[in-house]
Structure formats: structure tokens, C-alpha cells
Amino acid sequence: MKKQFLLVVVLLVTAVIGLGCQSEKGELSQDHGSVQLTVSAAASLKDVLTELASKYEKEHENVKIRFNFGSSGALQQQIEQGAPVDLFFSASEDKFNKLVSNDLISQNNSVKLLKNDLVLIVPKGKTQEIKNFKELTKDSVGKLAIGIPESVPAGKYAKETLSNLHLWNQVQSKFVYGKDVRQVLSYIETNNADAGFVYQTDALASDQIEIVDIAKNNLHSPIIYPLGIVKNTKHRRQSDEFYQFLQSDQAIEAMEKYGFKKG
């Protein structure tokens, strides 16, 4: 009986140790498994973030970055509706701050990272027709491309600029609306509009357009790009690491190369 009892005890101890090892292996496997981060970002950030993500993934083989580019207003609404997003990189403080107010992003895990300028662009070779904002009222000027002001920050900044120049009511009938700033850029590149309002960084990315005027900073709200970690992320550690990477000297240098300014 004593031998049988000892045998049972040994078997039980062995089983417990085995389960512990399996649990530890499972945790290690989960920790070192491939993780996909979803980053919702303003369309104007597409080029630089795609470049930075490629570099980051080479140094972090277990992390894949998936981007959801669009207008900041649309991305904000998606997050409010429960879209599975890990980080939000907005081109507008007010869209970003709504998520902070709704407790979806913590103020402690957010940063005003970049600045940008609003510019007036025309198709390449057409600078003789339009030289500045005030010339948009001319009868010879047809369609004007602008982001939807309610959801596209660049469109909101353009509306503020034109309103402060007392031009909004005079040119409003000429507008064709874009769902994001890159669509506005496309309208000008393809000659589907005579002029448009985009960020300086978008203009610098194209060789098919020309900048004819830059909006003065006192004509619109500050163009700030906040970055933050969404609270319901399921990959907290990896999100924080990528969040820190985007604030590194290496990342800022790349962003400045594309025309952004440090916030």
C-alpha cells in the first residue's frame, strides 16, 4: 500500500510539473508569435509611414504593421464604433481630442508629433492662370478641389483660410469634394480641377502639380498631427514600442524629409 501511495504521489507531481512546463511554453510561444498592429493614419502620412513600417518590420521580425489610411474624421468615427485599431495618427487635433474625451485614447499615451502647412496647388504648367488664393474668384477659374470640411482636416483648414480671406462665399459654387487629401491631389494631377487645397507634404510628393500659394498660419487653426495608443489595443507592449519608435530621431528625420515639421 505504501509503495502504491508513493507511486501515485510521484505521478501527480510529474503531471503538475508537466502542465507547468506546457503553460510556460505556451506563454513563450504567444509572446514570441507574430503580431499584427493596425494603425489608422491620415492619408497625408501614407508615404512616410509606409517607408518607416518597412524599416521597423526588418528590425522586428515578429511584428507586422497594417495601415488604414483615410480622412481623420472617418478614422475617428471608425474607432468610436469599435474598429480594432492599435494606434491613431491624426491630421487634426479636434478629431483626436474627441477620442481622448470619450476615454478611447489616454492623454498620457498621446503626443503632438508633427506640423504641416496648407498650400494652394494647380496642375503643372498652369501657374499663369492662378497665382494666389485671391485669384480663385476669377471667372476663368473653374473647378476647385477641396476635402470635405466636416471630415477631412485639410478641407477644414481650407475653409477657415478662405473664410478669413472673405473668399468662401464667392468660390463655394466651384468646389468638387474629395474624401481625403490624396483624392484632392489626384484631381489636380489629372486636370479634373483647376486648383486645390492640400498639405505641403502632399504637394512635395507629386511632380505633376505646382504650389502657387501657402496659407499663412494666422488664417487657420494650427495644423497639428497627434499620435496616440488606442486603449482597447490587444497588443499593448508592441503598440507602445512602435509608438516610441515613431518619436525617435530616425523616424522624425524621415518625416522631415517628406516635408513635415516636428511638433
Would you say 75 and 118 are in contact if contact means Cβ atoms under 8 Å apart?
no
Q: Give the pLDDT confidence of 154-210 residue by residue, as tens digits.
A: 999 999 999 999 999 999 999 999 999 999 999 999 999 999 999 999 999 999 999
C-alpha cell at 200: 505641403
Query: How wide is the angle at C-alpha 35 spanned by C-alphas 31 and 37, nearest 5°?
Result: 135
The predicted model scores a pTM of 0.83
| pLDDT at position 12 over 50 | no
- Grid cell digits, residue 53: 513600417
In this prediction, residue 95 carries a pLDDT of: 96
* The three cell numbers locating residue 120: 494652394
Neighbours of 165 (CB within 10 A): 17
Domain 33-115+224-262 has CATH 3.40.190.10: yes
Q: At what angle do helices 46-59 and 249-257 cross, to 10 degrees?
A: 150
Mean pLDDT of the chain: 89
**Identical fold, 33-115+224-262 and 118-219:** yes
Nearest partner of 72 among 47, 55, 50, 96, judged by Cα: 96
The pLDDT of residue 218 is above 60: yes
Q: Torsion over CA of 24, 29, 32 and 34, rounded to 10 degrees? A: -150
CATH superfamily of 118-219: Periplasmic binding protein-like II (3.40.190.10)
For residue 20, how many other CB atoms are within 10 A of its CB? 10
Rounded CA-CA distance 121/45 in Å is 18
Distances (CA, A) of 7 to 196, 198, 209: 83, 78, 83
Listed in sequence order, the residues at least 6 apart from 195 whose beta carbon sits closer than 8 Å to its beta carbon are: 120, 121, 122, 130, 136, 141, 144, 145, 188, 212
Instruction: Give the Cα separation of 187 and 174 in Å (integer).
Output: 14
Q: What is the pLDDT of residues 65-78, one digit of tens each?
A: 999 999 999 999 99
Q: Where are the beta strands (DSSP E) in the chain?
A: 35-42, 63-70, 87-89, 105-115, 118-123, 144-147, 175-178, 195-199, 209-214, 224-230, 261-262
What is the distance between the alpha carbons of residues 32 and 26, in angstroms, rounded to a whole number? 10
Domain ranges of the chain: 33-115+224-262, 118-219
Confidence of residue 6 (pLDDT cuts 50, 70, 90): very low
pLDDT in the model for residue 32: 53
- Does residue 142 or residue 129 have the better pLDDT? 142
